[in-house]
A and B are shown apart, each in its own frame.
Chain A
Amino acid sequence: MNEPQYQERVKKRTLQEAQPELSLPESDVPLQNDKAVIEDTGSGIKTLLIALFTTVLAIIGFSLIDAYLYVTDLMASHPLLASLLAALLLAVALAIFALIRNEWKGLRAIGKYSNDLFSIEELKTKGDVATTRRALKHRGKLQTGSAFARGCYHAFEHSLREHHTNDEVLKIYQDMVLSPIERQAKSVLKRESATAGGISLISPNSFIQTLGILWISLRTLRRISLVFGIRPSISGNWRLLRIALENLAAGSLTDLLTDEIAAQLGGTLGDKLLANSVDAVAVASLNQRLGKALIRELSKH
């Protein structure tokens, strides 16, 4: 054989150490992202919110007075029954207020979404692999409040490899974090909407139904936020508040309307049940609307 000699284009050296076991990259570099522009909610929306808020207050007020008048009317003829009913109404109202308070506290305890994060779209178009991975790691830290999200992030981190491109990292993130969280949130929402419908079905009057809707709305927000591990930012809260108030108004108006129709039909137990069933469907749908808005809010970034 007369093989020519070739010049090697590799420099070789022997190291005085053993090959390490494989470990996943753990970088903790703080993000230096540009602040995202907080969406301008505008004065028009504020006016709308005030209008919705006052509408809801008015509905609650009217419902309360309606209940009060009913009890005082009853007091003249059946003082004992009226007293019992008043006490029961007060107890139910207090219990629901306590539940609302708990939900509110629970929701506030969840970490807030940070507006200074890059969106997935920004990471896709502008980011390189290193920035994307840092950004997603940071997101992961924000969402540690949710055991479900923690599990998703854990699986995601362990599935990433050095050779993955920016686009591939984001695809894996979509498949292993965003999609499962969204699926889980939708399943929670389904259950919450069914509960909302149930409350509407059994609520004896508009006042209790309004409070019930308020409670279940907050519970839906808290439970979905718990799946994500974060609650919406200020701008997101404004949007959700608007939807929640719209729902309350729409739910209460539906209730008043169906009660009126039931009364026109004759006011039998069957009519009342039919009216409440219509209410239940409406309330469940409205709850779905609120939950979907929250999911959209927490998923879109």
Chain B
Amino acid sequence: MSRFVNKFYKAFDTLVDTGAQSLENLFSRDVHHVIITGLSRSGKSMFFTTLMSLLSQRSQQTFDNLPLLRSLPKELIQSVELRPIEGEALFPLDRNLQKLQSRQWPESTEQIYGFELVLTTKPLNAISKLLRKSNQIIFRFHDYPGEWLTDLPMLHKEFVAWSDSAWSQQLNPPQKHYASDWHAFVESYDFDRLPNEELVGDYMQQYRNYLIAAKSKGITLLQPGSMLIPSPKFNWEKNGFAPLPSRIASDPEHPWTLLFQKNFEHFKKIWLAPLQESYFSKADKQIVMLDLHQGLSHSRAHLNQLKETLSNLASSFVYGADKWYKPKILFRHEISKVAFVATKIDLIPNSQHENFLHLLQDITSGIRAHLREKEVEFQHFLISAMQTTDPGSCENCLRFTNPDGDYEEWEFESIPDRLKALDPEQNYPAINTMVPKDVLARMNHAQGIDRLIEYLIK
């Protein structure tokens, strides 16, 4: 009897605790589930590193390094804390900062990091003080390899449709410039041989070589990107696949088609669906991070392709108008606010920022049409996680230290304000800088992060 009473008491206690925690979460915590949608090299990791450093340093400085974060004045912040999300690796903030201080850029992300940025604010009024109530503003972030993001649209496709679309992309610029070796390999390939582990491995390796070459040349639409940075949850050697030429893929009974179709479905089930469910479907806000420099440094075709990649991604997220009851009562997460962010703006002279912003707006025009239909709020931002450059001798000039340690000055011609204004035969090389000596000071000169966070929490 006493065991039963104890059990009942414990269960009751747990229930009360859970209820109290839920009420606490509901009323005194403001949780922002922010999904950062950034392709590879878009600057996600540097953004996190700088954001956390600036917030941590903010209260200790006489000046304000995030002066436009008006909803969270520095006097109001009691503490800033980085908390792990259960079951996820914590973002390597200290490691990244150490790397920067030893004048190396942080390594690109090759696994998923989940973390909460918890800002505890001081009580605002006497009643709150009396109740010792302190509000918490929580940003829930995930950092992940950008390569995995481009795979999400594959969830809505069958193998043959995906293979055909991948093939048609490779036949058009800019991909076709880097796919010649792969195409030559496929053309001479004998598909009459039955697929075995060795043959499939060789076929996939050739495709992977193409993906690696294309990635190094600024191609963003690379599927499956997970082939470049494999997940521990999916075995490419055993269950791999790659696009097949139409003449093979169109035959549903062909052994190669049958095998790749089976592996493709397995890939969706084992890897893509859980990936989307765990990290990309529980968000109410989205930051779409874009590195336009990569596209500009190659060609207009690259930028057009970036635009296409972005439009394709729209179908992978759940968008909807902002209604307070959706997350609190219906427990439904829909993205109601989107920030389109062009990163590394310090690599463009101030005089060209306006054109750069218009170019960003042009690139997001496809996805924006989708957002308007869903009544989703959006805005465009230019940010840089660090000021690595200095003004030059003219208004379109910038100075920077290159990776060899030489101090250079580049003079830019006018940046096009839309894709059509960029001559298909011309490009703007991207500045590649060494990590500056005064890295912390330059981090404090980050641009636009305060505007962005202010927009998200307002």
Contact = CB atoms under 8 A, between A and B. Distances in A.
Nearest to A155: B63
Instruction: Tell me what chain A mostly uses at the interface: helix, strand, loop, or mixed.
Output: mixed
A295 B84 CA distance: 48
Contact of A19 (B64, B353, B400): B400
Interface stretch (B66-74, B106-114, B261-269): B66-74
B63 A159 contact: yes
Given A8-B426, A10-B412, A22 B68 contact: no
Nearest to B398: A10
A21 interface: yes
B407 A162 contact: no
B350 interface: yes
Contacts of A172: 64, 67-68
Interface size class of A (residues with CB under 8 A): 35 or more
A35 interface: no
A278 to B, nearest CB: 28
A171 to B, nearest CB: 7
A172 B66 CA distance: 10
Interface residues of B, number: 49
A3 interface: yes
B298 interface: yes
Nearest to B174: A3
Interface of A: 1-4, 6-15, 17-22, 151, 154-164, 168, 171-172, 175-176
Given A8-B428, A163-B447, 16 more contacts: A1-B177, A1-B213, A4-B177, A10-B412, A11-B410, A11-B411, A19-B399, A22-B441, A155-B64, A161-B445, A163-B350, A164-B68, A168-B68, A172-B64, A175-B64, A176-B64
A222 B391 CA distance: 45
Contacts of A168: 68, 451
A126 to B, nearest CB: 20
A171 B442 contact: no
B387 A22 contact: yes
The residue in A1, A4, A19, A21 that gathers the most chain B C-beta atoms within 10 A of its C-beta is A19
A9 B427 contact: yes
A213 B155 CA distance: 79
Interface string B399-438: 1110000111111110000000001011111000000111
B65 interface: yes
Contact of B426 (A6, A14, A163): A6
A176 B178 contact: no
Nearest to B441: A22
Contacts of B65: 159
Nearest to A172: B67
Interface in B195-240: 213, 217
